[in-house]
Structure 1
Amino acid sequence: MTNSNELTLVLAANGKTGRRVADRLEARDVPVRRGSRSADLPFDWNDRDTWAPALRDVRAVYLAYYPDLAAPGAPDAIRAFTDAAVAAGVRRIVLLSGRGEEEAQACERIVRAAPVEWTVVRCSWFAQNFSEDYLLEPVLAGHVVLPAGSVPEPFADADDIADVAVAALTGDGHAGQVYEITGPRALTFAEAVDEIAKATGRPIAYVQVPVEEYAGTLRAHGLPEDIVAFLTYLFTTVLDGRNAEPQDGVRRALGREPNDFADYAHTTAATGVWTP
């Protein structure tokens, strides 16, 4: 178990999973250092001078890379950070990885080769993208336009991801495990939007467009080209059916079933975040 005199560094601490992991650890009285550019002791993936101070007195790390392990340069950054973590005395790393991403698996191999207790938590599309990310505004507008067609996705709940990560950071029996985190059933994006419409009691339309048109719209809204390329990659490569089958990572790690998208939709609707 975690020694109360040692820290757990949670990277991407303002993100969907990092925030949840840090909150859960603090609720267990685990000493946490939140790693982000805005923290009192800042951590910045683009400034390696911030790494060593953030790793000081750290026992375990929740390793979430921004923007994504599939992004160019990610393996070099993960290798350098893992080396720095080992040199700083880190003994346990829980890596947030991507399902069906060859680039992410290259990063996994780097962490798995390190002399630490490692756990890999793989996931793909977050349910919370509809409420805490770029799909919130379209849901509020009642008009979701994406290049996703009939390929289903077993959307992962960020709460499940955080619960698994906390178990791996604080408990025994998770070292050397690869957990694929999904929901219990696969839905198309149109079906997911329909679940949200039912939960909110509002009409929300889903419109499929060609990926080229979608990319052009993103550019017209001023998104950087690397983000446009990454989202295009997700919709054309990762969302090709390779991840359509639900997996048992939550059950193996926690001994319970994963959260269903419908439950996520009803819980989120009750917060009012989807109320225009």
Structure 2
Amino acid sequence: MSRSTDSLLNPSAKIALAVWSGIKENLIHTQPKKRPTYSPPLITLKATTMTILITGGTGKTGFKLAKLLHAANHSVLITSRKGVAPEPFKAVTFDWNDASTFENPFKADANINKVYLVAPSVFDALPVAKPFIDLAISKGVKRFVLLSATQLQKGGVFIGKIHEYIASLGVEYTVLRPTWFIENFGSLFIHSINNSNTVASVTKNGKIPFIGVDDIAKAAFDALLAEKSSNSDFYVVGPELLTYDQATEILSEVIGRKITHTHITNEQEQGFFRSIGMSPEYAAMLNGMEAAIADDAEEKLVGTSKTITGTHKLRDYFEANKALWTK
């Protein structure tokens, strides 16, 4: 599991249709007589460019998604806590901890009709997210793509409650439930790898179809632009199943230094999560999700009718980012 001031917004195009018809002369009796030429009034059609709002638009998946949409010539607006984003994107200030910022995107662009939703990272997330979701619908949003996780069930804890709420509203939606990120090796685990040559987990020998953020962004891109919304949820997984022992072996080969997988207890892992700022409830939830890997919870999601399989592999990520783990 788990900011450019230039606008991408095209001005509304005005298409003028000049329609005319001429009526030729008719001879009536012996003298030619002109009938008047009929010219209907000028008709102006207004073409409106709709905008996709990306919450968390400078985050791992949000920024990748923004670049995909931009490359495909779609209008994009990004939210960030500071209201800034790398060029060429336009950003607005948005903070889940400050409900007064929720209307900022719609003040900046009245044409928002779709939202990529990265939920607030608090255990009881629905009461925080609900006012924004309701506001978005009142402003004309027709489709949501929500980022969740494989082990977060509809109606369950954390994002599961948001999943259930959006599904109850009658709007178009897709919920993406990715497995564990490849990029965790360059963020969550980077200090233990560089300081102790280890990755610690409670997963034992359980296998994970590690997923890259590029693949998640592509799944979100497809869900946002699909002609018909799925109104369902999908697991998003990578193309290979690996244990942490196998993953650290690959990393060792790539960087030329022995990295090992250390097996720890649930209590030790929750303590680590709390040490990096997670609440006790959030730490317990995350630990429970990782502990389920030891019982093949992630492996069982591969190849189902609800599975989207990406193409990015762990070794490729390690090769492309060697400098992260070079002492």
TM-score over 0.5 for the alignment?
yes
Query: Could you say which residue in structure 2 is the equivalent of 1:150?
Result: 205
- Match of 2:325, SS? coil
For 2:213 and 2:304, the matched residues in 1 are separated by: 13
Per-residue CA deviation, residues 134-162 of structure 1 (Å, 9 max, x unaligned), is 21222233222233312222111111000
1:138 to 161, 171, 192: 192
Instruction: Give the one of 110, 118, 130 matched to 1:64.
Output: 118
Asked whether 1:82 is paired with 2:133, we answer: yes
Change (3 A) 1:80 1:233: farther
Letter in 2 for 1:266: E
The answer to whether structure 1 residue 12 and structure 2 residue 67 are counterparts is no
Give unpaired runs (5+ residues) of structure 1.
none
Task: Give 1:27 deviation, angstroms.
Answer: 2.3
Deviation by residue 1:176-222 (Cα, 9 ceiling, x = unmatched): 24221001232222222222222222211221121222333455x56
Name the counterpart of 2:80. Answer: 36
Q: How many residues align?
A: 266
**How big is the alpha-carbon RMSD for the aligned residues of Structure 1 and Structure 2?**
2.8
Change (3 A) 1:92 1:267: same
* Cα distance between partner residues in 1 of 2:260 and 2:267: 20
Name the residue aligned to 1:163: 218
SS at match of 1:33: strand
Q: TM-score, normalised by structure 2?
A: 0.72
Following superposition, the deviation at residue 50 of structure 1 comes to 0.8
User: Relative contact order: is structure 1 or structure 2 higher (C-alpha 8 Å, sep ≥ 6)?
Assistant: 1
* Correspondence for 2:319: 266
The one-letter code of the counterpart of 1:80 is P
Does the alignment pair 1:118 with 2:118? no
Question: How many Å separate the matches in 2 of 1:10 and 1:21?
Answer: 8
Match of 2:65 among 16, 21, 31: 21
Q: State the distance in 1 between where 2:67 and 2:305 align.
A: 19
Cα 1:145–1:49 shift into 2, 3 Å: same
Q: Is 2:224 the counterpart of 1:180?
A: no
Give the letter aligned to residue 54 of structure 1. P
Range 190-199 or range 71-80, more displaced: 71-80
Supply the distance in 2 between the matched residues of 1:14 and 1:224 (Cα, whole angstroms): 21
The CA distance in 1 between the partners of 2:132 and 2:142, in whole Å, is 14
Structure 2 SS opposite 1:45: coil
Q: Counterparts of 2:150 and 2:106 in 1: how far apart (Å)?
A: 27
Would you say 1:225 and 2:279 are equivalent positions? yes
Higher strand share: 2
- 1:205 matched to which residue of 2? 260
Aligned to 1:53: 104
Deviations 1:29-49 (A, max 9, x none): 322211121214211111111
Structure 2 unaligned segments of length 5 or more: list them.
1-46, 85-91
Alignment partner of 1:23: what SS? Answer: helix
Structure 1 residue 231 displacement after superposition? 3.7
Give the corresponding residue for 2:150. Answer: 99
Change (3 A) 1:267 1:111: same
* In structure 1, C-alpha distance between the alignment counterparts of 2:302 and 2:210, rounded to whole Å: 11
Greater C-alpha Rg: 2
